């Protein structure tokens, strides 16, 4: 695709910022935001059409460290994937997006030291049990892109015992923002579909100890 103009990226960015500004922080079972229509419809179409072929792109990462092997991911901040480099610079890591997230209730912009992101593909058999994320992640933000198995393969928000308190359904171009702490237990059922795609953004911090 041709490189999108600065003005077009501004339009796309302001759309997502508006979605964040109009979101409501929910407190049950813990701090989270459920976002709808996260990306501008044109941008969401580009995301789908420009989704990399994981079987041909170099530097595709497999889940390691004993994690479920039915997930692969690509870091979008790379020059050989021009659309994703633009997306990373204009949406994921743009200061205006970060500022908008940290304007949500009870977040502190000073806690965000840097931003990382992955575009995920999950395959049949992927799942992850009840957990909360690493203390180096201050805020996590997952946006659902595509799932061939329907809404049920979203994210379960749980209590410490693993009992589901709320399920965020897998609806394309929706997702959640989660303030990561020792209460933010969540999981994903083992999927019985062939493909699930999402964008994960992590706002990292050095202000916490382990």
Tokens 């965000």 appear where? 112
Nearest-angstrom CA–CA distance, 166 and 181: 17
pTM of the model: 0.94
Domain boundaries, the chain: 6-204
- Per-residue pLDDT of 9-61, as tens digits, reads 999 999 999 999 999 999 999 999 999 999 999 999 999 999 999 999 888 99
Return the CATH number of the domain spanning residue range 6-204: 2.60.120.620
- Per-residue pLDDT of 79-136, as tens digits, reads 999 999 999 999 999 999 999 999 999 999 999 999 999 999 999 999 999 999 999 9
The pLDDT of 167-179, averaged and rounded, is 98
Using alpha carbons, select from 68, 74, 63 the residue that is nearest to residue 189: 68
For residue 138 the two structure tokens come to 């201050």
Burial class of 197 by CB neighbour count within 10 A (0 to 12, 13 to 18, 19+): buried
């Amino acid at each position: 695709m041709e490189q999108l103009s600065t003005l077009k990226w501004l339009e796309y960015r302001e759309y997502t910022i508006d979605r964040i500004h109009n979101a409501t922080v929910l407190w049950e079972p813990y701090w989270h935001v459920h976002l709808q229509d996260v990306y501008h419809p044109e941008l969401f179409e580009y995301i789908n059409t420009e989704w990399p072929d994981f079987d041909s792109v170099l530097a595709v990462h497999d889940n390691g460290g004993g994690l479920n092997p039915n997930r692969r991911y690509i870091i979008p901040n790379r020059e050989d994937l021009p659309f994703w480099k633009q997306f990373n610079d204009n949406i994921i890591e743009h200061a205006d997006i970060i500022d908008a997230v940290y304007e949500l209730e009870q977040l502190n912009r000073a806690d965000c030291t840097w931003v990382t992101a992955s575009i995920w593909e999950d395959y049949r058999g992927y799942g992850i049990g009840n957990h909360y994320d690493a203390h180096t992640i201050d805020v996590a933000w997952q946006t659902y892109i595509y799932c061939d198995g329907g809404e049920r393969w979203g994210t379960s928000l749980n209590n410490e015992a693993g009992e589901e308190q709320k399920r965020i359904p897998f609806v394309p171009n929706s997702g959640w923002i989660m303030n990561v702490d020792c209460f933010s237990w969540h999981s994903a059922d083992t999927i019985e579909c062939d493909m699930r795609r999402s964008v994960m953004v992590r706002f990292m911090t050095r202000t916490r100890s382990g």
